[in-house]
Amino acid sequence: MTAETHTGAPTGPTPDDGGGARPIRVVVAADSAGADLKNRLRELMRADPRVAVVDDVGVADASDDVAYPVPALEGAERIARGEADRGVFVCGTGIGVAISANKVPGIRATVAHDSYSAERSVKSNNCQVITFGARVIGPDAAEKILTEWLGHTFDENSPSAAKVARIDSYEAGRV
Ligand SMILES: O=C(CO)[C@H](O)COP(=O)(O)O
């Protein structure tokens, strides 16, 4: 699948649309440093009516020392293949899983530890993936940001769309 055919526009409900939009499919991933927070965020989303399914690609818990690129790349590839709409990836800082996910064509991922950045990552950048650093942000703050993030959508008719399209064009080799 090419980046052109897979811009991966986040879909789903907006905060004030009454929940009428299609529930989204989310994939979660983490390394040992992020497993506990990932599991907590996974359960939060499984109880959220805006989320249809939460697919967990591991690691299961902090005893598993598989390095962060492995679950992050697997999660990002599932989004690129159209098997999930969005991803929530966690490591110690959120940086390693973001860098890994961004290597998958068509995927836009960023760490976002504040509400405004999380919102703009969707509305400006059409990011499908948000990442957290479990050694940086507390679980309550991560839950609040995640709950808000689930309600944001990218407007393909907004001025930001052409900017994201420029990234897609570069990735597709069209300069
Ligand atoms: O935060 C991480 C990568 O960004 C990861 O959880 C720890 O990586 P390490 O410092 O290389 O062990």
The residue to mutate among 37, 68, 99, having the most atoms of ligand 1 within 8 angstroms of its beta carbon, is: 68
Given the residues 35, 91, 109, 130, the one annotated as active site: 91
Instruction: For ligand 1, say whether the CB of 91 is within 6 Å of any of its atoms.
Output: yes
Q: What's the 108 CA to ligand 1 centre distance in angstroms? A: 20
127 is an active site residue = no
pLDDT tens over the chain, length 175 residues: 233 233 333 444 444 344 457 899 999 999 999 999 999 999 999 999 999 999 999 999 999 999 999 999 999 999 999 999 999 999 999 999 999 999 999 999 999 999 999 999 999 999 999 999 999 999 999 999 999 999 999 999 999 999 999 999 999 998 7
pTM, two decimals, is 0.90
CA distances from 45 to 26, 61, 87, 92 (A): 8, 18, 11, 21
Nearest to 17 by CA among 50, 45, 39: 50
ipTM above 0.95, yes or no: yes
How far is Cα of residue 16 from the mean position of the Cα atoms in its chain?
21
